[in-house]
Amino acid sequence: MRGYGVDMSVRSILVIHGPNLNLLGTREPDIYGTSTIDDHLRSVRGRVGESVEVSSFQSNSEAEVVGAVQGASGRYDAIIINAGALTHYSWALHDALRSYGGVAIEVHLSNPAAREGFRHMSVLSGAVDGTISGFGGTGYALAAEAALRVGERP
């Protein structure tokens, strides 16, 4: 697994949101809830405390999301990524995540396996340390906790 056996501690996390996630809070609240990106970032910060830097990036452009992952290497110890629809088809994002040297956790607010068939496959899951899905906004706090725990393994 990625991240295991790496001697590091997580001091910085980049939370990445892909296409349409700028609409969180108003987009299909019955599926994605009423929390915004800022609410999810507060959840991450609340879980990791003040000693861990938490930064955020959101784009509706696949190229910009790939660029954010590439730019995270050597700058952030962990990535928490909710890639939105890119999850299901972006091999470019998959390759960028495979090249990233830190801990990477994939998050989904809903449970993709319980939704439409095209959402059942994640092309990213093989390129990250783990996936957390189906727990709504709690998934971000769980991902932060997982990043810290994976990052502390010797």
**Domain ranges for the chain:** 12-151
Q: What is the pLDDT of residue 88?
A: 87
**119 vs 121, higher pLDDT:** 121
Which of 32, 76, 100, 140 is the catalytic position? Answer: 32
Handedness of CA 82, 3, 99, 117 (dihedral sign): negative
Calpha distance 143→69 (Å, rounded):
17
Mean pLDDT of the chain: 86
Q: pLDDT (tens digit, 9 = 90+) per residue, 68-105?
A: 999 999 999 999 999 999 998 899 999 999 999 999 99
Q: What is the pLDDT of residue 94?
A: 98
Residues of the chain by 3-state class (helix, strand, coil), percent to 5: 45, 20, 40
Report the range of poorest mean pLDDT among 7-11, 40-44, 95-99, 141-145: 7-11
Q: What is the pLDDT of residue 2?
A: 47
Which of 17, 40, 94, 108 is the catalytic position? Answer: 108
Residue 132: phi, psi to the nearest 5? Answer: -120, 120
Say if CB 54 and CB 41 are below 8 A apart: yes
Report the range of poorest mean pLDDT among 89-93, 113-117, 118-122, 142-146: 113-117
**6 vs 58, higher pLDDT:** 58
Q: What is the pLDDT of residue 117?
A: 61
**41 vs 34, higher pLDDT:** 41
Tokens at residue 145, please? 């906790």
* 140 in active site: no
Q: How many C-alpha atoms does 69 have within 13 Å on its Cβ side?
A: 29
pTM, rounded to two decimals:
0.86
Q: What is the pLDDT of residue 111?
A: 64
Quick check: 154 pLDDT over 60? Answer: no
* 120 in active site: no
CATH architecture of 12-151: 3-Layer(aba) Sandwich (3.40)
